[in-house]
A and B are shown apart, each in its own frame.
Chain A
C-alpha cells in the first residue's frame, strides 16, 4: 500500500528499541503492517540495534553456560518455530490489531460519547499509562480533541479526514507531539474509523478543552 503519512523517525527508532509502551507499540505495529516504507525503515533502525549490540561490551557468562543451554534445548525438543500463521491483512483489521480487536471492524462494539462520535476502548495487557482506543466519527464531523498535551498517534482504518497536514486515508498515521494543534474534519460520505494511542495527560491545554473533557469522555 502506498501511503502519504508516516511515522516520525524518532517514533520509529523508539519502536525498534522496544521502549514504547503497549498502546503506542500496537498502533505503530499496525501502521507498520500496512506500510512497506515504514517496515523497511524499521529494519534499518534495527540495524542500529545490531550495531549497538556489537558495541555494548561483554559480561562474563556463568561457567558451563553453553552446556546448560544445550541441555535446556534437549529438554524441550522439537518445538520448531511454527510457520507464520497470521495473514497479511485479515479482512479490514491488520494483523497486530486482530489480537486486540478480532478480525472484523463491523463487529466492534461502539459506545456513543457525543453526537456523531463513538468510541471503543481497547483493553491492554500491561498496566500502561497511555490509552488505546478506536474512534468512529460521522461524515462532516470534527475529530474531537484528544491529545490533552501528551503525544498521540492516530491511524486511519477506514474513511478519511482532512486537517492542516493534508488528507489521511486508510493506513495513514498522524504522529503528533504535544505542541500540535489541529482540527481534523471527516471527509466524504463514510464515517472515519481510527485507532488512537494517547499519552497520559501531562498538562491541560486550556480552559476550553478542560470544559470539553468531561463531556466527550475522552
Chain B
C-alpha cells in the first residue's frame, strides 16, 4: 500500500508528465498559479476539444465547452483528491458532465450529487491509496494491451458518447457481444489496478 500523497515527497525535476499534472493541480489549488493553470490548459484543452468534436459538437460549441470545463477545473481544483483518482480521470468526469449538460441538454446533477457524497463522507479509502500517476500509467497500459475489438468499443463508448445499443448497431454486432466486450475490457483494467495494492 502506498503512503498518503504529499506534495513535498515529489521533488525530482524529471517527473513524468502525469506526476507533473498532480503538481500543477497543487500549485493551482495552493497559489492560484496562472502559469500552472496555463500548462494544464495547454495539455487538456485540445484533448477536451477533440473529445467534444468526436461527440458531435460543432467547432465553436466544442471551444465553448473547453472553456466551461477548464473554468470548472479552476474553481473546483481544491476538491481534487489524488488518492481518489488521476488528474485525467477527474478532468474527464468534468468534461463528461459538461457534455451531458451542454451537448445532450440533459442533467449531470446525479453525478455531482455522488461527488458531494464522497466529499462529505470522506471515507478513508484504504484499499485505494495509490499515486494518481501510477494509476494513469496502469490505465494507459491496460488500454494499450486490450485486444482491438475491445478497445474499439471502449473508445466508442467514451469518445463518441453513444449507447451500447448504438454501438451494436454501428458495428453490426449483437448487443450481448458489445456488453461482454465491455465487461472483459473493464475486468482487465480492474486487474491492472488491483496489482498495485
**A residues whose Cβ falls under 8 Å from a Cβ of B:** 8-10, 12-14, 16-22, 25-26, 28-29, 32-33, 36, 39-62, 65-66, 68-70, 72-73, 76, 79-81, 83-88, 95-96, 99, 125-126, 177
Contacts and interface: CB of A to CB of B under 8 A. Distances in A.
Interface residues of B, number: 90
Interface of B: 34, 38, 41-42, 44-51, 53-54, 62-63, 66-67, 70-72, 74-76, 78-79, 84-93, 95-97, 99-100, 104-111, 113-121, 123, 125, 127-128, 135-136, 139-140, 142-143, 154-155, 157-159, 161-164, 175-176, 178-180, 182-183, 185-187, 189-190, 193
**A interface, over-half SS:** helix
Nearest to B135: A47
Q: Which of A40, A51, A86, A96 has the most chain B CB within a 10 Å cutoff?
A: A51
**B interface, over-half SS:** helix
A155 to B, nearest CB: 13
Given A56-B54, A95-B117, A125-B106, 7 more contacts: A17-B96, A17-B158, A18-B108, A52-B155, A58-B49, A76-B71, A87-B120
A47 B193 contact: yes
A65 B88 contact: no
B105 to A, nearest CB: 7
B190 to A, nearest CB: 6
B113 A50 contact: no
Contacts of A47: 85-86, 89, 135-136, 139, 189, 193
B115 to A, nearest CB: 8
Nearest to B180: A10
Contacts of B66: 61, 65
B48 A53 contact: yes
